[in-house]
Structure 1
């Protein structure tokens, strides 16, 4: 009799472990991160002029060929309306991840960090449904001729996004560096 209870207990425990393992796997599949191979900046001069488009591309992913990066060149003492686009160009047709970022804006934020002496200020970030920064659109203001870099980071912050969050909060979906020249 006692052996029968032990076997029954073992079968119940094993079944529970199998079900728990399957359930976790299904949750992981639902929350699968999107592949972002391309970050595209479109900068349109305020007051007129042609839009300038720059991209960072790593179509073969981490560990393959080095990314192809277009250096951003802007005129001094100008204001540009900026939009950033996130794409998966490893598939045909390319998938525009930006749509999902905007739709799920309360769980995402784009950060911009200027360094190395570039005379560039970024403000006017668009906001999500809760009035918090989203950053898929913004305003770039240049000053004097200079050089430096612009780091763009897309963070995924489900349930933890708050006002004045540091770039370290949440999971990084993509982080890229563009060389910047103002001339």
Structure 2
């Protein structure tokens, strides 16, 4: 009988030991390096570029509510841009699979030193200047100025890069990093 009690005690101690190992292995890794978070790529379902000349507003919207791999996204442009006109531009990124929609723009702004927007147009007479800066004085591109020249038709491409080389030459190809989003809008200047 005494032998049976010893076996039960040993089993109980073994169970306690295994349980304590499990608890220790599941504890958080508190190594003090709180800046080394995994930056999981956020789902961006909607990109809106709003352009205003002070009187007129032109809105360029791309929406892909099911994300990559599903149905193709759609782009809409609310109207033509005026020739020889300067517009202030603001970008907004949303994840509309969440309710309410998650404003990804806030994260891009907060992590501005790790992000940058790049603009390119097939219409030669369009210039775009990035008006906002990260903590190091490098451009982000959430706020911009777009200036049109002569009339024409073509496209405007907007690319958001994650961890690009900063400073860079202003082109997405030379900046490196990974592409978080890339959208192209058909535009008309008249």
Q: By the TM > 0.5 criterion, same fold?
A: yes
* Contact kept? 1:119, 1:147, Cα under 8 Å: no
CA distance in 2, matches of 1:78, 1:165: 22
Question: May I ask how many residue pairs the two structures share in their alignment?
Answer: 156
After superposition, where does 1:31-46 map in structure 2 within 5 Å? Answer: 31-45=39-53
1:138 corresponds in structure 2 to: 144
* Contact kept? 2:153, 2:187, Cα under 8 Å: yes
2:132 corresponds in structure 1 to: 126
SS at match of 1:154: strand
1:14 corresponds in structure 2 to: none
TM-score where L is the length of structure 2: 0.74
Structure 2 gap segments, 5+ residues each = 1-24, 30-35
CA distance in 2, matches of 1:110, 1:149: 16
Structure 2 residue 169 is the aligned partner of structure 1 residue 164: yes
* Contact kept? 2:153, 2:189, Cα under 8 Å: yes
Q: 1:101 to 1:135 in 2, by over 3 A?
A: same
2:22 corresponds in structure 1 to: none
Deviations 1:156-180 (A, max 9, x none): 107x433436413101100000111
CA distance in 1, matches of 2:124, 2:74: 21
2:112 corresponds in structure 1 to: 105
* Contact kept? 1:155, 1:172, Cα under 8 Å: yes
SS at match of 1:90: coil
SS at match of 2:136: coil
1:148 corresponds in structure 2 to: 154
Structure of greater relative contact order (alpha carbons < 8 Å, 6+ residues apart): 1
1:29 to partner: Cα distance: 7.9
CA distance in 2, matches of 1:107, 1:29: 13
Structure 2 residue 58 is the aligned partner of structure 1 residue 52: yes
CA distance in 1, matches of 2:94, 2:163: 19
* Contact kept? 2:130, 2:139, Cα under 8 Å: no
Q: 1:165 to 1:49 in 2, by over 3 A?
A: closer
Deviations 1:101-142 (A, max 9, x none): 001101100000111x35311114321111111111110111
CA distance in 2, matches of 1:150, 1:161: 23
Structure 2 residue 44 is the aligned partner of structure 1 residue 73: no
Structure 1 gap segments, 5+ residues each = 1-18
